[in-house]
Chain A
Amino acid sequence: MWSLLLRKLKMGRLTEKNGNSLTPHMASNLPLKFRKSLQIRHLDCGSCNGCDWEMAALGNSLYDHQHFGIDFVASPRHADLLMCTGPGSTQLLNAARETYEAMAKPKWVMAVGDCAINGGVFKGAYATEGGIDGILQVDIKVPGCPPKPDDLIKALLEFMGKR
């Protein structure tokens, strides 16, 4: 208990960006209602798990996506945005489509990583689609292999019209 408190005091605040200082003035296609908070569902479409780990890293205390009003939700029914990783593996296509269909409108899709954008290094493999473009309608693309957490945060904030 004391050691925990001491550690807390010693470390102070770890989170780097201050979400409250952001101004929601940028141009964004997102309806005003959605700009304050964004609920995201993650969808692995056959990634190498690099992209997924970078998304998971957004939750650590240094990035702490929650203080931007961004959260990852457990069900597609609660989500506004679908963040897809991977080139779209054939055996997962049906599940991916169903996940998308389960989301309430309005909904958006983000392709995370080179794989999701165009198949990346896995382009041409027999059980992939060469990107999720062919399966779902993609609204935002974040390139990188994998994109760094900073890139992801930036893309998300831009999407929400914050900076």
Chain B
Amino acid sequence: MLGLQEYLQSYRSDPAIKIVEWEKQEGLVEVPSRDLPEVLTYCLAMWPRLMWLTHVVNDERQLGNGFCIYLVLHFPGKDFSLTLVAKGIESNFPTLASIYPALNWSEREVQDLFGLQAVGHPDPRSLVLHPGWPKGFHPLRKDYKAGKESKEFKRAPLVFPEMLGDGIFQVPVGPIHAGIIEPGHFRFYTIGEAVLHLEAQLFFTHKGIEKLIEGKSIQEGLRIIERVCGVCTVSHALAYCEAVEKLANLEVSRSVLLWRTILAELERVYNHVGDIGNMCAGVGFALGNANGSQCKERLQRLNLEFFGHRFLRGAVVPGGIKSIPSPKASEAILNRLLELSHDFEEWIPMLLTHDGYRQRAVTTGVLKLEDALNFGVTGPAARASGIPNDWRELHAHLCYPELKVKSMTEQEGDCWSRLTVRVKETRESFRFLHTLLSEGMKKPEPEIERLKLFSDHKFHAWQPAWGCVESPRGTDVVWLMLDEEAKIYRCRVRSASYANWPVVPLTVPGNIVPDFPLINKSFELCYSCCDR
């Protein structure tokens, strides 16, 4: 990364670029907001596979910094992450979305929630806040105190582009859907059966979690973070704990790492088998759906039995894990998993060799490599389009370096590829769990990491820290800043779904409307952790 460091050092600007920190894996550089577009253009030109981890705006006016932008980038292959900080923003900043479309939503969100203007933004419509909120309502500004605004919300029509021409129809769907799924509004512009264009209006489940969490203690924060998304509980909790532990300069013990990895993989397995089943539901293929859901149910029961919660809530705590199962329990878990993985190998071929299903899924909903890169797509969706980005491989953390994780990729980018990526990853996860649990079995009864130790820790106040975990849907990032009483000052959750939603509408045109359920399920994104 020397080239980048030299570039930044020799960059002429006023005030000058300040390299605050530059270590092996992480860097923090202050760049005037005016120069951010140029620096980002340079990075993108030099490292086309650059990943964005998160984009955070923080109201630091009380610290005399004005509003600050934190843009965290990762350089795959180098295991290096760079935070670019632009301080002293007053009311506007030059947009980055026109250079790097991945930041499109994030900047629109900033316009809504902070009332700052992204100058030159290609699509400045509101995003998170639907039309109908009182004027000047920017809840993430520190001078906003929760009031009666929710009562003043008046429904106003959502804004959609017009599309005119002979035989063009608009098909509105949602926000309430048929079936047990989350709310979102989709508007299909169709000609005949083919979709010309799709607009997705999300954020119906926006609750204001990032405001709610401010001022809460670290423990209270964890409870909320675990509930940002029901099915990625462990990933969010781990990312949050990683950030907290960075701020406490805390290294957790080997057995904690081991069990955290096991939890993360258990979460991946139960989600992946469920998602494989759901994809079948998307085309009405009952056999696949039944097998997927029943396998998922068994895995969730295992979670309940050994970790106390079907979604593994409460298992991860800052500084440790709640309880470490005994070697005997590890053996029991392992045996159960072996059974389930045999079962998996029995039903998976039935899907993969099913002609009708194959024909529906192959060439459906293609995500082009170029789009995936531009929009910073993550997770199985990115890997199915040929981008070998798996956070478990890119970044040395937990027990992943020993497991030698390889990103499972496919090249076509269609629904079938996303299915095969999931199948391969499930197999890998079963294998990892086997290795990890065998280690858990060998160890004598390990002493439980004490939480008490943790609460005595000193935390760095007013410093940014991030944590990152590969969830079943992609890389989840939690960004955190604490105040001097170790209360949360700002916490931003960039979930994998948030990163991936913008590309879903791009994959639909050219397909027919009945293919949408399949395409949507092949991405299997949450609404809740996107809307927050």
Contact = CB atoms under 8 A, between A and B. Distances in A.
Contacts of A127: 150, 206-208
B350 interface: yes
Contacts of B228: 48
Contacts of A72: 179-180
Interface in A28-84: 42-44, 46-57, 59-63, 72, 74-76
A146 B309 CA distance: 10
Interface in B288-327: 290, 293-294, 296-298, 300, 304, 310-311, 313
Interface on chain A toward B: helix, strand, loop, or mixed SS?
mixed
A95 B153 contact: no
B528 interface: yes
B149 interface: yes
Contacts of B212: 122, 124-126
Interface string B119-153: 00000000001101000000100000011011001
B310 A90 contact: no
Contacts of A47: 182, 205, 230, 528
A95 B180 contact: no
B223 interface: yes
Given A3-B350, A125-B207, A126-B211, A49 B150 contact: no
Given A48-B230, A49-B528, A89 B207 contact: yes
Nearest to B304: A148
Contacts of B230: 47-53, 146
Given A44-B205, A125-B209, A61 B290 contact: yes
A56 B330 CA distance: 29
A129 B350 CA distance: 46
A146 B175 CA distance: 23
A124 B209 contact: no
A62 B297 contact: yes
Contacts of A42: 179-180
Interface string B338-379: 000000001101100000000000000000000000000000
Interface residues of B, number: 56
Given A7-B346, A52-B230, A126-B211, A14 B180 contact: no
A137 interface: no
A91 B310 contact: no
Interface string B488-532: 000000000000000000000000000000000000001111010
A46 B149 CA distance: 17
A118 interface: no
| Of listed B146, B181, B211, B212, residue having the most chain A CB within 10 A | B212
A51 B231 CA distance: 10
Interface in B157-176: 175-176
Given A47-B528, A95-B175, A62 B294 contact: yes
Nearest to B140: A126
A95 B231 CA distance: 25
Interface string A1-28: 0011001000000100000000000000
A128 to B, nearest CB: 5
Nearest to B174: A95
Contacts of B233: 50
A122 to B, nearest CB: 5
A126 B149 contact: yes
Contacts of A56: 180, 293
B294 to A, nearest CB: 5
B259 interface: no
B183 to A, nearest CB: 5
B285 interface: no
B204 A89 contact: yes
A131 interface: no
B180 to A, nearest CB: 4
Contacts of B231: 49-50, 53
Interface in B190-225: 203-209, 211-212, 223-224
Contact of B527 (A49, A76, A99): A49
B155 interface: yes
Interface string A78-104: 000000001101111111100100000
A96 B347 CA distance: 39
Contacts of A99: 176
B227 interface: yes
A60 B205 contact: no
B84 interface: no
Contacts of B349: 3
A75 B178 contact: yes
B262 interface: no
Interface string B228-252: 1111010000000000000000000
Nearest to B182: A44
A55 B108 CA distance: 34
B294 A126 contact: no
Contact of A48 (B155, B181, B528): B528
Interface of A: 3-4, 7, 14, 42-44, 46-57, 59-63, 72, 74-76, 86-87, 89-96, 99, 120-122, 124-129, 145-146, 148
Given A48-B227, A57-B297, A121-B227, 5 more contacts: A49-B182, A60-B296, A92-B205, A95-B176, A121-B223
Closest 5 CB pairs of A and B: A50-B230, A74-B178, A60-B293, A126-B208, A125-B212
Interface of B: 129-130, 132, 139, 146-147, 149-150, 153, 155, 175-176, 178-183, 203-209, 211-212, 223-224, 227-231, 233, 287, 290, 293-294, 296-298, 300, 304, 310-311, 313, 346-347, 349-350, 526-529, 531
20 contacts: A4-B287, A44-B176, A44-B181, A46-B528, A48-B229, A50-B311, A51-B230, A54-B310, A57-B293, A60-B297, A72-B180, A75-B178, A92-B183, A92-B204, A93-B153, A121-B227, A122-B209, A122-B224, A125-B212, A148-B310
